[in-house]
Structure 1
Amino acid sequence: MKAGRLVVLVLVVALGLALSGCSSKPPSTAPTGAPVAAPPTSAQPATLVMVMNMDDVVTLDPHHAYETTNLMIHASTYDTLVEFKPGNLTEVSPRLADRWETSDGGKTYTFHLHPGVKFSSGNPVTAEDVRFSWTRLKNLKDNPAFYADLIDKVEAVDETTVKVTLTEPSPVFLSVCAAPAMSIVDSKVVKEHGGTDAADADKTDKAKDWLDQHSAGSGPFIQVSWTPKAEIVLEANPTYWRGKPKLDRVIIKHVADPTTVLQMLQRGDADLTDSLDPDLVEQAKADPNLKVTVGQTLNQNYLAMTSNPELSKPLADKRVRQAIALSIDYDGLIKALLRGYGSRAPSIIPLGILGVDPSMTQGRDLAKAKALLKEAGYENGFTVDLSYGSNPTRETIAAKLKSDLAEVGITVNLKPMEQSVYLSEMRAQKLALCFGGWTPDYLDPTMWTDYFSYHDRGIATRMLYNNPEAEKYAKIIDTEFDTAKRAQAIKDLQKVLMDDMPFTMLYQNQQIVVMNKAVQGFAYHPVQFVNFADLSK
């Protein structure tokens, strides 16, 4: 879990795990061979130019990468066994796997691959490629290797059947399978370029450099080049099993300056950007050649409050924590900081996740906050330190929180720190009141319920939060395969957290997407942003 990492986000949903099989569309008939790009035609190639800040890219090997931009690239150059489609983050859909079933109480998953699918090289996609891919991911032991932590063994039963044995029964695993890090690579091609799935792959695998510049997948596009901090070029896979993309080429250019991004869109030098600065939105809306859409991310910023009296006697009383949550002008914060491009969920589990009901969200209520403080014996207020990792955005948040709490008599001493110092202090359980960000690594509610509920994990540990009732519901969410029961447990957990109030969500980011009006088919995805196969121009 990447606390504070800005994503479109792994990246990222309780996810009705449709554990019964599903069927997908039959593949297009594709010629054999080893295509590297779409063949030339007399018509003008359909090229889409995207501009964005992509200085986070350090590798494009899907089993090494653990940043943000790579999620978008890998979603279009590789396939996973299953996927979450835009607009539906509560149901797992088939991708390479037509269907699947569980056995042994949820400890064993058996996937049945769509027959006839080929990699862009012309090699068939087989169960052995799945086994190799997930074993390589695990044995590389790099940042994304944790996605394979649940896996004990992967077996290729036959050409199109994969049997996965987990370390323990888990309803979460199917959601994890949709993560771009779980992409299926062409084992023959990767081995030809020095790749291995051996136990010592972290020392002996040599394929990363080649995979930085070329894809080895079965996705709708083929990566043909990457120039760090300059551009990434993708070309259509003419034999893609779901049909050749409408775009012939996608060029993603690195442009860090927000004003330059808008100017390129206005001049027609670019077709799409993933995130426009809120201060520039009105200019974009005024341009008749551009269209603006807003996507709801799963990224959030939260305020955390200890319940340990040794760190803060006032905060140890849940009435005080409730009063603080009711004192915050959330709407004003979203307007001032995000120009209104933000939202809030009832607790720390974001909007878009199974079991999250927006109508439960509480806003500001100063009268109730003051009454709670009086009831707790703090009618005249108290003083508390607010700690945070300093940057311009967080300074704005801190100043707003200080001002809001002053209205109910609470004096806040601001304690800005370097981010590394802040994280060290938080992990050492030294902070009474602090705020930070949270971004999911995969799309399952456990990305929130585990780390904000269990006393021995994540933010709950760092804030010394320990509530057996919260852990009871978190355990149900961890282990229950029935979607309805899981959703109810999430609702019940939210009620516990809203009553105990160890955390309150300050805001959930929204993403401002701008594109040329000629671009069609865009569907926002909170993890991978977009699949370029959906677009035309």
Structure 2
Amino acid sequence: MHTDHVLFRRLMKKVALLSTLLIAGTALAASPKDTLVLQYSADVPTLDPGVSYDTASGEMIENMYETLLTYKGSSLKTLEPLLATKWTASNGGKTYTFDLRKNVKFHSGATMTCTDAEYTFERNLVTNSGESGNWFIAEPLLGTQNNANDDKSVTWDKIDKAVECNSKGQLVFNLAKVDPAFLAKLAYSGQSIVERKYNASIGEWDGTEKTWKTWVGKDLTGSNLSKKPNGTGPYRLVKQDANNLLFQAFDGYWGKAPSIKNVIRQKVSEIAPRQQAFLRGDADVIEGGGRNVDEAQIKGKPGVAWLDNLPNTSAFVIFMNQNIKATNLLGSGKLDGNGIPANFFRDANLRRAFSYSFNYQQYIDDVQKGKGKQRTMALPDSFPGYDPKVNTYTFDKAKATQYFKQAWGGNVWKQGFTLTVNYRAGSTTSQTAMEILKRNVESVNPKFKVKIQPEQWSEMLAASKRGEEAMVLIGWSPDYADPDNFLYTFYASDGFYSPRSNFKDASIDKWLNQARATVNTAERNRLYSLVGKRAYEQAPYILVPGGVSYTFFRSNLVGVTANSYNPMTAGTLGVLWKDLSKK
């Protein structure tokens, strides 16, 4: 205890000194060899795995907590044991049995048992809400994405039987339906194992049937567990305040002892002081400002390591809403040149015309500095299920003209339209994309008018969810490395993004559901290829080219390579802290 107290005081002095010198712009010796300093613009919403659904929280949690299994190296396809040692599937893919690792200690000092693992998943099913990532684990285990408040079919008996410990101390999942993505979902940091007894002692749910209903859908963001985390991971939280989190290597960790003993995570809102701290060596890793900024300000500078051509696991599209519910964006509400009807984008020929009007290569050149790739589907090309042979749209004014003339029986060409489009305020990327589209659409016919205007991100998200945006650029980052997480999200008539597009295609729905019902990889790939081809024909979205990812860090930091970088890791480096060292 005395040693920890001394270390704590010493490190907190270091945190205070770093913060003070950053504000003053004063030079400081490089961060110590046993210490990793991270600086980001965002705060950390929560340290409770049960509600985490953002990358800022995810990076902290994945280094303090651990899941049953994880991704192997840089692979997005191969999973390996972590807190489990092995697993087997049975009952046609509806039962999974896990052997758990022995002698694993929580930061509290308690030894992990199967009861803790069972409690973890029951807690996630009980507290499940749309604000957490537990909806996608509830679906295979309970047959619904919803909690007991929103779906009366969810009972304690159903939750209790979904995950159990057998007489051998093995953890058994009993799925309500086959889910080929189930194992990948278990690798998500939000499914990290927590300690039942500890949670009960600090006022969290005690894991009993008697109290479960009072915890249904409860917001865990500011929970007692968030304030006093307790995982099995290589790092434990020592101190946190509004702008700093201080972590120390956990002496009782079951795995290899980390080389980095201390991690300081700082919130530094402005990019200039982050850049200055990084270039001085005060910070080892910072949040950058995008490729244009980072290549100009960071790349090639002394003491900087730059790793490029990394896989991009996000997908961005421009939605064309087929049922626009905001009358203020419709103008006259008619196809008379002064507005558009609410179902303007219901015509596939019109959507094809817009798709041919976007200059994909110009976007790659202007926004991504040539480091971009046109996608065939709303799915990262690094993901399983991606079909590179599906046709793509190109910027083609002649074809755009052809389809505009066919849209709405020729009335679009004859009458013209005024379309109002919002883009994310402050986002140069979104603004540039909409300007490219506006310029090209208006050049086809002088009767075509596209008005673009900025809108605050929070307002745009809320409005698009209500189906009020006519056309909006939004992306998706993966919760788990499975094509279903993207293709169902974007293309299913009941998918997460359905209210934003109101796109519905019976064939696509059928294929997506068939792909969800089989564990045969070849069959799933065949079905996803069909989805991609049909989506090309129907053109529900303009597919924005995917950028090529990169990362940068101080050159004395060891462990970040193309072979170790995994985009499913929440941190900027794509590598866990325990796998880093300094030279």
Q: TM-score, normalised by structure 2?
A: 0.77
Residue 280 of structure 2 is aligned to residue 244 of structure 1: no
Cα offset for 1:273? Answer: 2.1
Report the CA distance shift for 1:158/1:96 in structure 2 as closer, same or farther (over 3 A): farther
User: CA separation in 2, counterparts of 1:332 and 1:474?
Assistant: 33
SS of aligned partner of 1:303: strand
Cα offset for 1:495? Answer: 0.9
Residue 268 of structure 2 is aligned to residue 255 of structure 1: yes
Q: 2:39: which partner in 1? A: 51
Q: 1:301: which partner in 2? A: 316
Q: 1:287: which partner in 2? A: 301
Report the CA distance shift for 1:158/1:348 in structure 2 as closer, same or farther (over 3 A): same
User: CA separation in 1, counterparts of 2:255 and 2:4?
Assistant: 17
Among candidates 552, 566, 571, match of residue 525 of structure 1? 566
Q: How does 1:307-456 map to 2 (within 5 A)?
A: 307=322, 311=341, 315-340=345-370, 342-358=372-388, 360=390, 361-374=392-405, 376=407, 377=410, 382-393=416-427, 394-409=430-445, 410-414=448-452, 416-419=454-457, 422-423=460-461, 425-456=463-494
64-73 or 192-201, larger mean C-alpha shift: 192-201
Q: 2:233: which partner in 1? A: 219
Q: 2:171: which partner in 1? A: 162
Among candidates 119, 124, 127, match of residue 111 of structure 2? 124
Is the 2:96–2:173 Cα contact (8 Å) retained in structure 1? Answer: yes
Is the 2:76–2:566 Cα contact (8 Å) retained in structure 1? Answer: no
Cα offset for 1:447? Answer: 1.9
199-208 or 160-169, larger mean C-alpha shift: 199-208
Q: 1:267: which partner in 2? A: 280
Cα offset for 1:374? Answer: 4.3
User: CA separation in 2, counterparts of 1:234 and 1:172?
Assistant: 33
Q: Deviations over 1:18-56 (max 9, x none)?
A: xxxxxxxxxxxxxxx9x979999xxx761111111232x
Structure 1 unaligned blocks of 5 or more: 1-32
Cα offset for 1:493? Answer: 0.8
Q: Deviations over 1:425-480 (max 9, x none)?
A: 54444554333233333332222222222223332343221211111211122111
User: CA separation in 1, counterparts of 2:58 and 2:500?
Assistant: 29
Is the 2:286–2:553 Cα contact (8 Å) retained in structure 1? Answer: yes
Is the 1:455–1:465 Cα contact (8 Å) retained in structure 2? Answer: yes
Is the 2:313–2:567 Cα contact (8 Å) retained in structure 1? Answer: yes
User: CA separation in 2, counterparts of 1:447 and 1:73?
Assistant: 23
SS of aligned partner of 1:217: coil
Cα offset for 1:346? Answer: 1.1
Is the 2:45–2:56 Cα contact (8 Å) retained in structure 1? Answer: no
With a CA cutoff of 8 Å and minimum separation of 6, indicate the structure with the bigger relative contact order: 1
Q: 1:488: which partner in 2? A: 526
User: CA separation in 1, counterparts of 2:499 and 2:440?
Assistant: 27
User: CA separation in 2, counterparts of 1:303 and 1:206?
Assistant: 33
Cα offset for 1:423? Answer: 4.5
Report the CA distance shift for 1:96/1:456 in structure 2 as closer, same or farther (over 3 A): same
Q: Considering only CA atoms, is the larger Rg found in Structure 1 or Structure 2?
A: 2
Q: 1:194: which partner in 2? A: 203
Cα offset for 1:485? Answer: 1.3
Is the 2:63–2:576 Cα contact (8 Å) retained in structure 1? Answer: yes
Residue 120 of structure 2 is aligned to residue 133 of structure 1: yes
User: CA separation in 2, counterparts of 1:363 and 1:36?
Assistant: 61
User: CA separation in 1, counterparts of 2:402 and 2:89?
Assistant: 52
Report the CA distance shift for 1:432/1:209 in structure 2 as closer, same or farther (over 3 A): closer
Report the CA distance shift for 1:388/1:158 in structure 2 as closer, same or farther (over 3 A): farther
Q: Deviations over 1:133-184 (max 9, x none)?
A: 1112222345324244133421111464101122322222222111111000
User: CA separation in 1, counterparts of 2:251 and 2:305?
Assistant: 29
User: CA separation in 2, counterparts of 1:129 and 1:201?
Assistant: 20
SS of aligned partner of 1:253: strand
Q: Deviations over 1:473-512 (max 9, x none)?
A: 1112211111121122112211111111001221335554
User: CA separation in 1, counterparts of 2:127 and 2:453?
Assistant: 40
Among candidates 190, 193, 206, match of residue 184 of structure 1? 193
How many pairs are equivalent?
Answer: 499
Cα offset for 1:314? Answer: 6.3
Residue 544 of structure 2 is aligned to residue 506 of structure 1: yes
Q: Deviations over 1:62-110 (max 9, x none)?
A: 1133332111111111110111245211233222122222233332221
User: CA separation in 1, counterparts of 2:544 and 2:220?
Assistant: 44
Is the 1:231–1:252 Cα contact (8 Å) retained in structure 2? Answer: yes
Residue 91 of structure 2 is aligned to residue 104 of structure 1: yes
| Paired AA for residue 203 in structure 2 | G
Cα offset for 1:312? Answer: 6.2
Cα offset for 1:119? Answer: 2.6
Is the 1:275–1:511 Cα contact (8 Å) retained in structure 2? Answer: no
Cα offset for 1:318? Answer: 2.2
SS of aligned partner of 1:298: coil
Is the 1:78–1:219 Cα contact (8 Å) retained in structure 2? Answer: yes
Cα offset for 1:306? Answer: 4.2
477-486 or 525-534, larger mean C-alpha shift: 525-534
Is the 1:111–1:161 Cα contact (8 Å) retained in structure 2? Answer: yes
SS of aligned partner of 2:522: helix
User: CA separation in 2, counterparts of 1:68 and 1:493?
Assistant: 29
SS of aligned partner of 2:89: strand
Is the 2:34–2:260 Cα contact (8 Å) retained in structure 1? Answer: yes
Among candidates 466, 473, 481, match of residue 511 of structure 2? 473
User: CA separation in 2, counterparts of 1:70 and 1:425?
Assistant: 25
User: CA separation in 1, counterparts of 2:219 and 2:441?
Assistant: 54
Is the 2:184–2:481 Cα contact (8 Å) retained in structure 1? Answer: yes
| Paired AA for residue 404 in structure 1 | N
Structure 2 unaligned blocks of 5 or more: 9-31, 142-158, 324-334
Residue 130 of structure 2 is aligned to residue 149 of structure 1: no
